[in-house]
């Protein structure tokens, strides 16, 4: 049996808006997702996160389920508007108390909290008053919010993630308009990404300057799918690498190298915001680990500009700026999100990060799959999900054997939840949630994942 390293971190993950509910309760302010999901036609069946999984009231029950699985770490996000209803100035002590109680309950269950400060649910007031992530004042507001969280929770939280998937915020929120705040533009994604990176850096510097005595770690989580060259031609190899730089390098290069990828600067010119020399110094080195959310793989081929561009969704950056065509292999199995199941792509993704960014400590902070699960006679036989996890975890083992410093793995997600614009039909969870009764039921994959944790191996 192939084992993971003895100090390997096994966890599950969630986000605040997707599970908490209590969207207008106990002093919480509205977020951009509260507003966006209330607009007819923006989400599947008009569903919202108003109740979601009601984790706000059921967190003790949920933590017991984690403990039963043997989970060692739990990654969750704080709802900014729950602790600061307008995103600035006034503090909601009821919101602070909720997260304090949640953290205490996790520690009591011997589960290590990993806290994400921002998972897309910006306080609505900041969107209305300061133009959201397009506003120049946002990095300072985010740093002040982060300061509050470090002050109140940092005595017990030793693992922080500033931003979750700023690519999604930038492209789907400010480019395609399919996620909150729902803006459509070919220029705003680059502007929003710039402010997000500055916000991340300022929050990290607050933590390192004021809270070093807490002896924690802090980083950022980016998402990226693997891009495999469609052929062995140099043009397709360059296209695949270009796609990865527009996708992951866009956000990781400034953090690890001090600036945007050269290919982006060449292709975008003045459309890509520029960091000052002081900002480059501020951003570089602001992650103690490399957080990666990885789900799928696609083939990439060079497009000379005469062919129709692929959809921006999943392609990183703005599609027409890249000259890359994406495709799938007809033999690849697909999830209900039509994402291909390609474990070897995960291994190659980890190797690319390892080489480009100098062998950093890597944590897969999300990996998982959605299927149309059914509860039959009190059980969910989600064999496809079990096979998915086993395949991807074996790929992780192979990457570690090759020298990649993969230190942990968080399954997405702990339980079925509000899957953003897709509503409640897309089930990613290890636990089945009946959204009428809100009862939780462990799936076959949850039982297997618990055994994998117990044996520290995917070979079970």
d(CA 120, CA 166): 8
- Catalytic annotation on 129? no
Q: Does 294 carry a binding-site annotation?
A: no
CB 453 within 8 A of CB 72: yes
CB 52 within 8 A of CB 90: no
Directed axis angle between helix 383-401 and helix 343-356, to 10°? 30
Instruction: Let me know if 20 is a catalytic residue.
Output: no
Question: Among residues 165, 266, 355, 439, which one is catalytic?
Answer: 165
The response to whether 80 counts as a known ligand-binding position is: no
Q: Which two tokens stand for residue 221?
A: 């989580």
How many whole angstroms from its chain centre is CA 311? Answer: 21
CA atoms within 13 A of residue 15's CA, in its CB half-sphere: 22
Q: Is 390 annotated as a binding residue?
A: no
**Would the annotation count 33 as a binding residue?**
no
Residue 105 labelled as part of a binding site? no
- Cα 460 to Cα 445: distance, rounded to the nearest angstrom: 12
Q: What's the CA gap between 350 and 242, in Å, rounded?
A: 17
| 261, two tokens | 């990828």
Both tokens assigned to 151 = 């002050």
Nearest residue to 240 (alpha-carbon basis) of 176, 403, 266, 248: 248
At residue 239's C-alpha, the angle toward residues 237 and 241, to 5°, is: 70
What is d(CA 451, CA 8) in angstroms, rounded to the nearest whole number? 15
Residue 402 CB neighbour total at 10 angstroms = 12
The active-site residue, picked from 20, 47, 279, 366, is: 366
Give strand pairing partners of 299. Answer: 228, 327
Helix (H) or strand (E) holding 262: helix 262-268
Find out whether 195 is annotated in a ligand binding site.
Answer: no
* CA torsion through residues 25, 30, 35, 36, sign: negative
**DSSP calls for 336-400:** TT--B--HHHHHHHHHHHHHHTTS--EEEEEE---B----BTTB---HHHHHHHHHHHHHHHHHH
Q: What's the start-to-end Cα distance of the chain, in Å?
A: 8
Of 72, 78, 86, nearest to 15 by C-alpha is: 78
What is the C-alpha separation between 16 and 4, in angstroms, rounded?
30
Query: Catalytic residue positions?
Result: 165, 366
């Amino acid at each position: 049996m192939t084992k993971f390293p003895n100090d390997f971190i096994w966890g599950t993950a969630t986000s605040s808006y997707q599970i908490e509910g209590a969207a207008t309760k106990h002093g919480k302010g509205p977020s951009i997702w509260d507003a966006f999901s209330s607009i007819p036609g923006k989400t599947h069946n008009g569903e919202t996160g108003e109740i979601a999984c009601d984790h706000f009231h059921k967190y003790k029950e949920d933590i017991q389920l984690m403990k039963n699985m043997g989970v060692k770490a739990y990654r969750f996000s704080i709802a900014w508007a729950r602790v600061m209803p307008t995103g600035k100035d006034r503090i909601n002590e009821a919101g602070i108390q909720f997260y304090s109680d949640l953290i205490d309950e996790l520690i009591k269950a011997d589960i290590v909290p990993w806290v994400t400060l921002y998972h897309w649910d910006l306080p609505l007031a900041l969107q209305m008053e300061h133009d959201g992530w397009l506003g120049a004042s946002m990095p300072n507001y985010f740093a002040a919010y982060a300061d509050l969280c470090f002050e109140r929770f940092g005595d017990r939280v030793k693992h922080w993630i500033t931003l979750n998937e700023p690519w999604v915020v930038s492209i789907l929120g400010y480019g395609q308009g399919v996620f909150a705040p729902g803006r459509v533009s070919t220029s705003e994604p680059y502007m929003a990404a710039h402010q997000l990176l500055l916000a991340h850096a300022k929050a990290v510097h607050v933590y390192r300057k004021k809270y070093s005595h807490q002896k924690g770690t802090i980083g950022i989580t980016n998402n990226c799918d693997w891009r495999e060259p469609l052929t062995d031609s140099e043009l397709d190899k360059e296209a695949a690498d270009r796609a990865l730089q527009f996708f992951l390098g866009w956000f990781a290069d400034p953090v690890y190298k001090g600036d945007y990828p050269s290919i982006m600067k060449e292709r975008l010119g003045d459309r890509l915001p520029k960091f000052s020399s002081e900002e480059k110094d501020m951003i570089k080195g602001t992650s103690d680990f490399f957080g990666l959310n990885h789900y799928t793989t696609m083939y990439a081929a060079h497009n000379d500009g005469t062919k129709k561009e692929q959809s921006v969704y999943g392609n990183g950056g703005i599609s027409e700026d890249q000259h890359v065509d994406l495709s799938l292999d007809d033999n690849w199995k697909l999830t209900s999100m039509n994402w291909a199941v390609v474990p070897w792509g995960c291994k190659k993704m980890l190797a690319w990060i390892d080489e480009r960014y100098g062998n950093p400590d890597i944590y897969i902070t999300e990996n998982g799959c959605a299927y149309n699960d059914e509860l039959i006679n009190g059980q969910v036989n989600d064999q496809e999900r079990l096979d998915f996890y086993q395949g991807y975890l074996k790929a992780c083992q192979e990457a570690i054997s090759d020298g990649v410093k993969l230190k942990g793995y968080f399954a997405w997600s702990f339980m079925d939840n509000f899957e953003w614009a897709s509503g409640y039909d897309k089930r990613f969870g290890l636990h089945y949630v009946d959204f009428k009764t809100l009862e939780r039921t462990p799936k076959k994959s949850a039982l297997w994942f618990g055994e994998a944790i117990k044996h520290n191996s995917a070979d079970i």
